[in-house]
């Protein structure tokens, strides 16, 4: 009974958005309302030393962007909430896609003025592919924004999901006065201070003198008319349709000014799904199974600069994970014990004795883990859906300081294990090649090599179109292909064969002339 009760009270979700939509600010305010922190960080202010709790890396503080996923767990109204704040920048899309595999639901944050942007569409598509239920938070109502009905039409059209508003704003920008909670039928007053929490519940009648006095006659009449239209135009919220990714509940608000956060958090507790079943190559795994299973979806080195530790993030999928208990590392076949498993509040860690499905556990790693690895109580399972994508940008990486060759090699190895980039070794000249999905990753790699490993690197441009993993049913066919394309062949970190295409034309021509060779654009095959 204990296991089922603990599963029922857990919510594990990712927060995703286009850059600058307010995702990290929303994460911060959810922590504030949940009591996990007492003062929200000033995410964008360089004049204040406090920073966002979720942006714990030094380069994140300097650039003002999230470049790594943060994990934060806290209790709210008897519910254990695990939040994964993901990078918004498209150059770190691969990290975001992998993290979504560990989420049971997601919140998509949209700027009320800018609407649905390119990254938002892509992230919504990934959620559809995974069947991940989504809530939508329309942010920045404290700034001038489009009409709420126009916003809903735009979101529904762009994200290809039916929307149902669960609260409603009055005005935007300087005219933004608060949020009407459609489900509770009460009004929350907007607080202009970034630290003051909005008051709510005092006004429950849309036609009351108190509301007219606060909003003004015209705005109060407009709100009453809008709510009447909303109730008539949108069907009642159906949780089953939300869980099936047919509809998405929409919340309006201002994360910066704390407006609309409480309704979002309360609804998250009430309607978001508890841990769900997951597919493996062998079978479906259900959270209430007695035996433990989980998978590694993220690895991060040097979270604590004082100890230079390396942490593997494990999503618990079934059973109870217990401290100092032997578990099978399926890929290696080894049995391992973990004397100090940790729970997270961004960079802050605390040792735990046990964890339940939906929880994220940090395991100290000496190089045993890679992303996608499975841990179980003994059964050989392989969780699906955690690929590495074919990179589109490439550079040779060379050592700029001969005296730090070991530090450079160690740094590259650990950063590649994190999934920051992919490492290939050319079979033609034996040089090391770094492949990424975005240009900013090269800057992050160079920065972290220098500041975390004391190693200097030098980049050399390499004009390639795509890296493809290859296989063939006949070893002789594969050997013949590798001999013919020797100048374009490389191996990845696991020693698998990779074909480096210089152009789209070359890739298509090669595939046509070698029909017996299969080309893969993700490493999961």
User: If you count DSSP H runs as helices and E runs as strands, how many of each does the chain have, helices first?
Assistant: 14, 31
Instruction: Give the per-residue pLDDT at 56.
Output: 43
Instruction: Give the per-residue pLDDT at 465.
Output: 94
Instruction: Give the per-residue pLDDT at 193.
Output: 54
Nearest to 445 by CA among 403, 414, 404: 414
Nearest to 171 by CA among 231, 210, 221: 221
Tokens representing residue 389 in the block? 């994508």
| Contact in structure between 383 and 98 (CB atoms under 8 Å) | no
The Cα–Cα gap between 27 and 255 comes to 9
All structural domains of the chain: 2-271 (3.40.50.300), 278-376 (3.40.50.300), 393-520 (3.30.70.3280)
Q: For the stretch 119-143, what's the b/e string if a residue is b when 16 or more beta carbons lie within 10 angstroms of its beta carbon?
A: bbebbbebbeeeebbbbbbbbbbbe
pLDDT tens for the chain, residues 1 to 525: 589 999 999 999 999 888 889 888 898 899 888 887 765 543 333 333 344 444 444 554 454 444 445 788 889 999 999 998 776 555 556 677 778 889 999 999 999 999 998 888 888 888 888 889 999 999 999 999 999 999 999 999 999 999 999 999 999 998 998 899 998 888 888 766 544 444 555 576 788 888 888 888 999 999 999 999 999 999 999 999 999 999 999 999 999 988 999 889 999 999 999 999 999 999 999 999 999 999 999 888 776 656 567 889 999 999 999 999 999 999 999 999 999 999 876 456 789 999 999 999 999 988 889 888 999 999 999 998 776 777 889 999 999 998 999 999 999 988 888 877 899 999 999 999 999 877 888 988 999 899 889 999 999 999 999 999 999 999 999 999 999 999 999 999 889 999 999 999 999 999 999 999 999 987 764
User: The pTM is what?
Assistant: 0.81
Tokens representing residue 59 in the block? 């380069």
| Alpha-carbon distance values, 352 to 81, 321, 359 (Å) | 16, 10, 11
Q: How many CB atoms lie within 10 A of CB 149?
A: 13
Which three-class secondary structure state does DSSP give residue 430?
Answer: coil
């Amino acid at each position: 009974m204990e296991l089922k009760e603990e599963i029922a009270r857990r919510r594990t979700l990712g927060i995703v958005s286009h850059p600058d939509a307010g995702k990290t600010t929303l994460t911060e305010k959810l922590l504030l309302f949940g009591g996990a922190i007492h003062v929200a960080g000033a995410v964008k202010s360089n004049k204040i030393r406090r920073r966002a709790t979720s942006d714990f890396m030094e380069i994140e503080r300097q650039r003002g962007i999230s470049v790594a996923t943060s994990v934060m767990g806290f209790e709210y109204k008897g519910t254990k909430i695990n939040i994964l704040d993901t990078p918004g920048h498209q150059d770190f899309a691969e990290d975001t896609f992998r993290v979504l595999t560990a989420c049971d639901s997601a919140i998509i944050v949209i700027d009320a003025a800018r609407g649905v942007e390119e990254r938002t569409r892509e992230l919504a598509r990934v959620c559809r592919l995974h069947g991940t239920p989504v809530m939508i938070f329309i942010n920045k109502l404290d700034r001038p924004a489009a009409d709420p009905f126009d916003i809903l039409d735009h979101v529904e059209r762009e994200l290809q999901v039916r929307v149902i508003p669960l609260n409603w704003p009055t005005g935007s920008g300087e005219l933004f006065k608060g949020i009407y909670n459609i489900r509770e039928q009460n009004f929350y007053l907007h607080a202009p201070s970034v630290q003051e929490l909005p008051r709510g519940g005092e006004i429950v009648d849309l036609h009351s003198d108190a509301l007219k006095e606060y909003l003004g006659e015209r705005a109060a009449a407009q709100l009453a008319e809008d709510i009447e239209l909303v109730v008539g135009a949108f069907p009642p919220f159906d949780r089953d349709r939300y869980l099936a990714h047919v509809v998405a509940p929409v919340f309006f608000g201002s994360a910066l000014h704390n407006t609309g956060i409480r309704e979002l958090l309360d609804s998250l507790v009430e309607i978001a799904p508890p841990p769900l079943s997951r597919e493996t190559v062998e079978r479906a795994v259900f959270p209430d199974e007695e035996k433990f299973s989980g998978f590694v979806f993220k690895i991060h080195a040097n979270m604590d600069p004082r100890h230079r530790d390396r942490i593997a993030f494990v999503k618990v999928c079934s059973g109870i994970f217990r401290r100092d208990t032997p578990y099978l590392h399926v890929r290696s076949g080894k049995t391992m014990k973990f004397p100090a498993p940790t729970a997270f509040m961004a960079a802050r860690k605390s040792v735990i004795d046990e964890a339940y499905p939906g929880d994220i556990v940090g395991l100290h790693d000496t190089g045993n883990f890679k992303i996608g690895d499975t841990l179980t109580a003994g059964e050989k399972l392989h969780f699906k859906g955690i690929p590495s994508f074919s990179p589109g940008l490439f550079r040779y990486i060379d050592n700029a300081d001969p005296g730090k060759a070991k530090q450079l090699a160690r740094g590259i190895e650990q950063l590649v294990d994190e999934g920051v980039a992919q490492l290939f070794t050319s079979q033609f000249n034996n040089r090391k090649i770094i492949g990424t999905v975005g240009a900013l990753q090269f800057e992050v790699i160079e920065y972290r090599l220098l500041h975390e490993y004391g190693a200097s690197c030098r980049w050399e441009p390499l004009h390639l179109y795509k890296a493809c993993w290859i296989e063939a049913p006949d070893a002789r066919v594969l050997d013949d292909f590798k001999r013919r394309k020797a100048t374009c062949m490389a191996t990845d970190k696991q020693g698998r064969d990779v074909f480096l295409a210089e152009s789209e034309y070359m890739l298509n021509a090669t595939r046509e002339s070698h029909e017996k060779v299969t080309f893969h654009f993700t490493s999961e095959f």
